[in-house]
Amino acid sequence: MALPLAIETHQLLKKFGTNRAVDGVDLSIPQGMVYGVLGPNGAGKTTTLRMLATLLRPDGGEAHVLGHDVAREPARVRERISLTGQFASVDEDLTGLENLRLLAGLLGFRRREGRQRAEELLTAFSLTEAQNQQVKYYSGGMRRRLDIAASILVTPDLLFLDEPTTGLDPRSRNQVWDIVRALVAGGTTVLLTTQYLEEADRLAERIAVIDRGRVIAEGTSAELKASVGTSVLHLSVLSPDQREQAAGVLKDRLGVPAFREADPTALTVQLDDTARAPLALHALTEAGIPLRSFSLGQPSLDEVFMALTGRPAESDEPEKEVVV
């Protein structure tokens, strides 16, 4: 294939003072897919995206976007990308329609075409009713959709979405996911950042996990989970007094301890092999312990992080960072 990579970075670096926000990131992202960048707060997701979108100059390393060097040919890059920032990149004081018409005008649509295109997108994103309201009165989900609409007035070859669903309810989140899938079906490459493993799993063909400015794992969702090596079996016994017995059976059969949850009927077991889950269930049935429910969950981001870094993802305080 002669297509250049959508994104190729080599030892990308960005420092803020002594803080290496992005510390040698290598990415290699083919065109035509959703690529997920997964990481906790402060991992360097936004900083990486801003460098790729030509908003920040890298302090070291190289980045090529669709074959163009971001430092040397930023204008060429801008022609082909679109960015939906983490915090609303639309004008709060203007209405939804005005926002889209303004951006359409900047992109070269004539008055009438711009209005048509804006209305078409507003309809598609179920924003018609609110189109004449100022954006500051929009809900989080509406704002996000408008923000994405603003990014695709002209279909970009590469779309950056920075945490597009953080803070959205499940319904709004699904709408955003639908939009992303439709865009990719149309040939756009999407780079999205997220803090949710589930989101990366559902949407992204490949995932890079970043932490403290470094890529600590890369691959498909399946590869990632395999490398983490656990899936989680959640069980709930019918009666609380059978929980201890159930825990014993599980320990015998699977060789790993069951974790007792706060709910007096609930148990959690970490499995390194999903195929062993049926064994566990079978053993409990044989022992005559009825279950109210069971589910096999994916490891959470926290668990992935535990496995990859040996510490939880939620650590807001970098333990040994220099205080500025």
Partner 1 sequence: MTEQDTMATPDAARDTSLEAALQSALARRAAPRRPGAISNATMFGWRALLKIKHVPEQLFDVVITPVMFTVMFTYLFGGALAGSTVDYLQFLLPGILAQTVIFTTIYTGVTLNTDISKGIYDRFKSMPIWAPSPLVGAMLGDFLRYTGSSVIVVLIGLLMGFRPEAGLSGVIWSMMLLNLFAFGIGWIFTTLGLLMRTPGTVMTISWIVLMPLTFASNVFVDPATMPGWLQSVVNANPVSHLVTAIRALMAGTANLGLLVKSLLMPAAITVIFAPLAMVLYHRPR
Nearer to partner 1, 5 or 55 (CB): 55
User: Which residue, 215, 216, 221, is CA-closest to 203?
Assistant: 221
Nearer to partner 1, 6 or 179 (CB): 179
- How do strand 291-297 and strand 231-237 relate by DSSP bridges? antiparallel
Nearer to partner 1, 40 or 114 (CB): 114
Q: Residue 247 and residue 259: Cα distance in Å, rounded? A: 8
Q: Cβ neighbours of residue 48 under 8 Å, at least 6 residues apart?
A: 12, 14, 22, 25, 37, 210
CB of 39 to Mg ion, least distance (A): 9
Contact 209, 39 (CB under 8 A): yes
Nearer to ligand ATP, 31 or 309 (CB): 309
**How long a stretch of residues is the chain?**
324
Q: Of 18-26, 46-54, 67-75, 112-120, which segment contacts Mg ion by CB under 5 A?
A: 46-54
User: Which residue, 96, 104, 92, is CA-closest to 122?
Assistant: 96
Contact 34, 204 (CB under 8 A): yes
Nearer to ligand ATP, 54 or 195 (CB): 195
CB of 324 to ligand ATP, least distance (A): 9
* Binding test (CB under 5 A) with Mg ion, winner from 31, 86, 134, 227: 86
Task: Please tell me whether residue 39 binds ligand ATP under the rule CB under 6 A.
Answer: yes
Q: Residue 179 and residue 165: Cα distance in Å, rounded? A: 12
Match 């979405």 to its residue by tokens: 161
- In order of 66, 250, 288, 301, the CA distances from 194 in angstroms are 22, 35, 43, 10
Helices 140-151/170-185 angle, 10° precision: 10
* Binding test (CB under 5 A) with Mg ion, winner from 22, 40, 42, 46: 46
CB of 157 to partner 1, least distance (A): 10
Footprint on residues 165-204 left by ligand ATP (CB under 6 A): 195
DSSP helix/strand/coil, 293:
strand
Q: Of 39-47, 63-71, 128-136, 260-268, which segment contacts ligand ATP by CB under 6 A?
A: 39-47
CB of 205 to Mg ion, least distance (A): 22
Contact 265, 279 (CB under 8 A): no
Task: Please tell me whether residue 164 binds ligand ATP under the rule CB under 6 A.
Answer: no
The footprint of partner 1 (CB under 8 A) covers: 50, 53-57, 75, 78-79, 81-83, 85-95, 98, 102-103, 105-110, 113, 120-121, 123-126, 134, 150-152, 154-155, 178-179, 182-183, 186-187
Task: Please tell me whether residue 41 binds ligand ATP under the rule CB under 6 A.
Answer: yes
* Binding test (CB under 6 A) with ligand ATP, winner from 7, 12, 13, 21: 21
Q: Residue 84 and residue 107: Cα distance in Å, rounded? A: 16
Binding site for Mg ion (CB under 5 A): 45-46, 86
Binding site for ligand ATP (CB under 6 A): 16, 19, 21, 39, 41-47, 86, 195
